[in-house]
Amino acid sequence: MNAGRLVVCPTPIGNLEDVTLRVLSALRDADVIACEDTRHTRGLLDRYGVAAELVSYHEHNETRRAAELAERIRSGQTVALVSDAGMPLVSDPGYELVRACVGAGIAVEVLPGPSAVLAALVASALPADRWRFAGFLPRKRGELRRVLEEADVTLVAFESPRRLATTLAVLAEIDAERPAAVCRELTKLHEEVARGSAGELASRYAEAPPRGEIVLVVGPPAAAASRPDPRALAAVRRLADAGARPRTAAAVVAELTGEKANRLYSGLTATDRPSSVADE
């Protein structure tokens, strides 16, 4: 019997026209579609005339259903995995199924497509060379503060509209000038991206709590934004320790990584630079 496969299919985060042709083809070809909410997914399928068997796959039945679906794939079926919106596994169910398939040597194909995380990161106009996705932000104030304080790169996170004002107030307490962007209802009719300092945004949303789905993007602190990538700086140090001139080492690493050569060179403190190597 031919081996089956798992196809991970991202779905629109708001505008149904954002579904890709490859995803629609995969959904039409699948023997079964695993989805969070069958009613929600049925709306997308009906829009594009896709008739398929649907089974629920959500956080409450993920472990049991993953075993069942893996068995169906082993029997030769093709399973398409979707979430209500965006890429499965990214703060959505799917990890258990993908892990089960990989562990069993079952083919897993991941299709590209809509992502609220990437859309918000780009729309924020904040640095995108180094960033971290935090999923849903913690509810407890102490844990929230720790996440915000420890972020030394651009931070992307999901937040509830009910808690947004509190989160921004905590961010403003840490650094009122920290740049941020509140991305609301991305790709939908009332899409809005509000950019500004943490203090400005905290004041804005304290007076008018938002509605809809929120992605919060927080830029790095000013001091962190001026620092080069630690890995690139370490590479410069290794080259310099091996005998390369610091400026030359910085230029080579900058060309390979996209970092700025001057920033890499400046990152080498006087004590970092090998005293035995004559600089230019």
Same domain, 120 and 218: yes
Does residue 24 belong to any structural domain of this protein?
A: yes
Compare 96 and 280 and report the one with higher pLDDT: 96
Same domain, 207 and 240: no
Same domain, 256 and 185: no
d(CA 58, CA 35): 7
Of 136, 118, 140, nearest to 214 by C-alpha is 136
Does residue 276 belong to any structural domain of this protein?
A: no
pLDDT on residue 231: 84
Same domain, 170 and 122: yes
pTM: 0.78
* Position 277 pLDDT exceeds 60: no
Same domain, 71 and 53: yes
pLDDT in tens, 101-153: 999 999 999 999 999 999 999 999 999 999 999 999 999 999 999 999 998 89
Does residue 277 belong to any structural domain of this protein?
A: no
d(CA 216, CA 143): 17
Same domain, 123 and 169: yes
Same domain, 42 and 105: yes
* Position 280 pLDDT exceeds 60: no
Same domain, 98 and 12: yes
Does residue 280 belong to any structural domain of this protein?
A: no
Lowest mean pLDDT among 59-73, 216-230, 245-259: 216-230
Other C-beta atoms lying within 10 Å of the C-beta of residue 4: 22
Q: DSSP string covering 50-113, please?
A: ----EEE--TTTHHHHHHHHHHHHHTT-EEEE--SSBSTTSSSS-HHHHHHHHHTT-EEEE---
Same domain, 106 and 120: no
pLDDT in tens, 66-90: 999 999 999 999 999 999 999 999 9
pLDDT on residue 1: 46
For residue 53, what is the domain's CATH number?
Answer: 3.40.1010.10
pLDDT on residue 3: 77
pLDDT in tens, 35-56: 999 999 999 999 999 999 999 9
Does residue 10 belong to any structural domain of this protein?
A: yes
Same domain, 19 and 58: yes
Beta bridge partners of 86: 11
Same domain, 103 and 25: yes
Percent of the chain with pLDDT over 90: 75
The mean per-residue pLDDT over the stretch 221-249 comes to: 81
What value does the mean pLDDT of the chain take?
91
pLDDT on residue 225: 55
For residue 213, what is the domain's CATH number?
Answer: 3.30.950.10
Domains identified in the chain, total number:
3
pLDDT in tens, 188-227: 999 999 999 999 999 999 988 899 999 999 999 876 555 6
Exposure b/e, 111-132, CB count within 10 A at least 16 = b: eebbbbbbbbbebbebeeebbe
Percent of the chain with pLDDT over 70: 92
d(CA 239, CA 91): 40
Q: Which of 87, 110, 133 is the last residue of a domain?
A: 110
Domain hosting 139: range is 116-223
Does residue 192 belong to any structural domain of this protein?
A: yes
* Position 275 pLDDT exceeds 70: no
* Position 245 pLDDT exceeds 50: yes
Does residue 51 belong to any structural domain of this protein?
A: yes
Same domain, 144 and 212: yes
Does residue 90 belong to any structural domain of this protein?
A: yes
